[in-house]
Amino acid sequence: MTGRVPVEPRQRRLAGSSTRPVRTWVSLTAAVALAVSGFALQAPPSVSAQTTAPWDGNPLSAGLGPTYGEEWCEPPAAGSSIADQQGPPLALMPGAAVRCTLDRFTTEARRAGVPDRMSYSVIGRSVQDRDLYGVVVNASETPQQRRDYRRWVQLRSVMTTDPKRAQSLLADWGPDVKIPIVVEANIHGNEEEGTDAAMQVIRDLVTTPRGTDPMVDTLLDHAFLVVHPTINPDGRYAGTRANANGFDMNRDLLVQGQPEIRASITNMLKWLPPVGLTMHGYTNMIQSMTKPHNPGYEYDLILKWNQRRVDENDKDLTAIGMDVIRQVNDWNANAESEPPPVGPAYAEGWDDWGPFYTAGHASTWAVDIQTVEMCDSGPGCDGRFGSKRMQYVAFYSSARFWTAHRNALLNDQVEMFRRGLADAERVDCCDDPLVADRGFTEAEHNWTVEYPKAYVIPFDRAPAGRSRGHDAQRSDAEANRLTRWLLDNGVRVTETTRDFEWGDTTFPARSYVVWMDQPLRGLALTTLGAGQDISDRIARLYAPPGAWSPGHIWGADVVEIPRGDSTFDPRTVRVSSTNRLTGGVRGGGHADWYAVTPRGPSEVRAVLDVLRDGVDGGVAEEEFTSASAGTMPAGSLIFPSGHKAVTALRAAGMKAGFYFERGKGNKPETSNLSGVPRIAVLVDSAAPAMNDTLWSLQRIFGDDAEFVSVAAGDDSLQNAPDDPLRDFDVVYNAGQNYPAAENDTARTRLQAFFERGGGYIGTSQSANNFAFLNNADPALIDGALTQASQPAGGGIARWANTGSGGPLTGGYPSEDFLYLPTNVTYFSSVPAAATVDGRYLDDTTDMFVAGLWRDRQEEAAGAPVIAHGQTTAGSRYVAFATNPFSRGDAEREWTLMGQAAFWSDLTDE
């Protein structure tokens, strides 16, 4: 202990904060005196004694920014949302100032004689190319600090591979080990003050000399911090909840479509912190576990820590006059904080069900990483100032609790991995008296299921010269995509060393096997299993969907092997990368032409690449026979056999892992496909912003999908001097009704587009998308195409392929899954001349695999969900009664969108 005192006086705080007590120089001196006397080595002071910073919410170190008389090292960018938020009660930190502010902390520390405690790195970049920072605060100035950090490093190196050894090390070490604490702020860009609070904490810990503040010393002795000060700098700049792609990133943890989320997850899994906070606003709420419960979580371990830490936060925040809500203890079914009724039986509105949340994903590998919602108004809050204060106190309250219990917390985190590796049976959730006394009961809250034995992601690796190999996997490229996700998320994957027979199924050699006796079995179950039908257990979710499953709604086939099935025992070896794809043009003889039916989004993209290479093809009008694969459905793509074509086909097939089949004799009847179908995404805005619809369409079609506005803006169908649709082949309607009569230019141009043979794709993103066809003048279809909807909380449904020989669903199996973002949607009416390609299964129980759908009307059973037909203008339309683009989730359905674009594009005729 150095006893060194700060060399700089406190910064003066500006008006706006004057109603709050100011930490004085005198009290700081007193604290130093206490520290020097050895008081710092005592246990943390009790709540009643916590009247000084940080417990009163005043910064321990110099306050950040103009509110405290300090200029930002990088001013807010003109036009940014932050530039408008520089006045009282709190000037918010510009995102661009994060880096130079961290550098400033280092300078301050050195000036005060404090050894370096902080490092930071760029862990990724945002959509708009802003740096994402990962900060590590870790003091190494005493032998004990160095030893205890080294011990954590040792622990980290074995905790998932040899958890028993890790637990034995912890038993030996007792409290002499550091615990990592993660803080992530600002994932919602317009919930800003978490960044300011987290940066204030960093300043405290980095610049406060040892021996000055017992709280800081204790934290630095026994913990280290991993901080993402803002994981959404684009949203912070723009003042938006979403990132620049229009995604709510706190719903992206399972899709991981956004670069910010991939960076966050990668860094979190590197450090694997057992505890942490994700800082949000503005509901005065400290997140805790509520029902419903995700069966992939070890609830006995999570509830135990979460309830106790939340109780601490409640005490500490109440002590400074802040009114805090603990939803699990305080909330009722209507998400109101007033009784009756209260308690966990009714706290459905805020849920821990969805692993698409940061906290939900983390709960598969951490014991207490949760959300803290700042205040906005109410007792003790003063707008933005109180928000920062609440996050600041919540951090110290949590960090003190976690630090005090560091050995036990680490041990329980390792216990999760131990249970996983040992394939241990599930443990009761709620035997802990503190938890049981709060009204958690086994009957109501134990949602755990026993894990299956394994999941198989078959890999075909079809050899050239044969027809489609074993046909166990619809798309090897999609099998790799899913496997890559698992590996990136720390899930262990193995593969079979030779062909393996299981019942009637042959899994080819090198098929992926995810054994469930593994450290992250909860995440593996969540990712690969279908989830549960929770409809009879709860009434509401904070946010749908009530089920999610990359194993069911992405592009690969996945097979679940039941627990205890002794017939499944293939020899497997662990893999760290995915298989090389094989493909090209099918060998074994002469070909007059080549054909392919895309079975995954990667295959659609490969076909688009062929077209971009200048090789024109065609779309088969009828079912036909190929030399190498027999019968192929209408809608398959046909390409010539010339040298240039074969070169392009071979490259595409190798890249996407599939073969173009050989055809002999006369080419089947086709419609032309010259060039890539260009997709006009119909909106009505002068300056449409990127969203999940266009983002998803661009994952398929690249830059060949673009917004086109109906009437708003100078470039719209109504106002542009040249017809914008002349450059497009297919319209994807993103929610527009047919333009009103006064928008006559837009009408004329649409009519001309359809008369040229332009395609039309409508999905349940809006009922308008189907009404559009009826409301056109003249109507584009005879008979109504009408969407019906039943209220639901989202999930996964099963449909029967009634169009397997036809131009749209020929590449799909006889039954498949689709994704319901919220409601259960279907067609209540389809024109008589339309062809139905897919219907829900005939029974509402069979059709609904997982999710929340309470009020089931029989009308949905067997109802049409995919249909196609011809318009009165001679063009083609495809109608799909669910939304495949919500949050970029349903990649399984993107193949159909590609197929719909190929088939409906007649504009080249």
Token pair belonging to 860: 């949905």
Q: Per-residue x/- mask for Zn ion, residues 463 to 502, rule CB under 5 A?
A: ----------------------------------------
Cα 177 to Cα 169, 195, 358, 587, 634: the distances in Å are: 10, 28, 26, 62, 65
Site for Zn ion in 159-198 (CB under 5 A): 188, 191
What part of residues 43-72 is at the interface with Zn ion (CB under 5 A)?
Answer: none
The distance of closest approach from Cβ of residue 765 to Zn ion in the complex, given in angstroms and rounded to an integer, is 24
* Shortest CB 583 distance to Zn ion, Å: 44
Q: Which residues contact 156 (CB under 8 A, 6 or more apart)?
A: 271, 272
Q: How far is the CB of 170 from Zn ion (least distance, A)?
A: 34
Cβ–Cβ contacts within 10 Å for residue 21, how many?
13
Q: Which residue is nearest to Zn ion (CB)?
A: 280
Choose between 189 and 757: whose C-beta lies nearer to Zn ion: 189
Please give the torsion angle defined by the CA atoms of residues 247, 899, 617 and 694, in that order, rounded to the nearest 10 degrees. -20
Size of interface with Zn ion, in residues (CB under 5 A)? 3
CA distance 866 to 490: 37
> Least distance in Å: CB of 281 to Zn ion?
6
Supply the minimum distance, in Å, between the C-beta of residue 236 and Zn ion. 13
Of residues 371 and 597, the one with the C-beta less far from Zn ion = 371
* Binding string, residues 270-289; x marks residues near Zn ion by CB under 5 A: ----------x---------
Minimum gap (Å) between residue 173 Cβ and Zn ion: 37
| CA separation for the pair 335, 58 (Å, rounded) | 31
Give the residue from 105, 124, 122, 117 showing the smallest Cα distance to 60: 105
Q: Are 139 and 128 in contact (CB under 8 A)?
A: no
**198 versus 865: smaller Cβ distance to Zn ion:** 198
- Rounded CA-CA distance 329/75 in Å is 43
**191 versus 495: smaller Cβ distance to Zn ion:** 191
Q: What's 299's DSSP letter? A: H
Nearest approach, Cβ of residue 352 and Zn ion (Å): 15
Q: Which is nearer to Zn ion, 186 or 895 (CB)?
A: 186
Tell me, rounded to whole angstroms, the distance of Cα 600 from its chain centroid: 21
Give the separation between CA 737 and CA 829, rounded to whole angstroms.
18
- Measured torsion, CA atoms of residues 324, 328, 332, 337, in degrees rounded to the nearest 10: 0
Q: In the complex with Zn ion, which residue's Cβ is closer, 186 or 743?
A: 186
In angstroms, what is the minimal distance from the CB of 231 to Zn ion? 11
Q: In the complex with Zn ion, which residue's Cβ is closer, 194 or 452?
A: 194
381 in Cβ contact with 321 (< 8 Å): no
CB nearer to Zn ion: give 260 or 495: 260
Shortest distance (Å) from residue 280 CB to Zn ion: 3
Question: How far apart (Å, rounded) are the C-alpha atoms in residues 759 and 745?
Answer: 19
291 is a site residue for Zn ion (CB under 5 A) = no
Measured CA to CA, the distance from residue 13 to residue 504 in angstroms comes to 75
Give the nearest distance from C-beta 112 to Zn ion in angstroms. 35
Q: Which is nearer to Zn ion, 191 or 234 (CB)?
A: 191
DSSP 251: G
**In Å, how far from its chain's centre is CA 15?**
41
Residue number, 72 or 282, with CB nearest to Zn ion = 282
Closest to Zn ion by CB, 381 or 561: 381
CB of 551 to Zn ion, least distance (A): 28
Closer residue to Zn ion in complex, CB, 187/301: 187
Decide: 627 and 592 in contact? Cβ < 8 Å: no
Q: What is the 3-state secondary structure (H, E, C) of 382-431?
A: ECHHHHHHHHHHHHHHHHHHHHHCHHHHHHHHHHHHHHHHCCCCCCCCCC
* Nearest distance in Å: CB 314, Zn ion: 20
Q: Residue 577's closest CA among 484, 482, 513?
A: 484
Mind giving me the DSSP string for 515-546?
Answer: ESSSTTHHHHHHHHS---B-TTT-S--SSS-S
Judged by DSSP in three states, 228 sits in: strand
- Residues at the site binding Zn ion, with contacts judged by CB under 5 A: 188, 191, 280
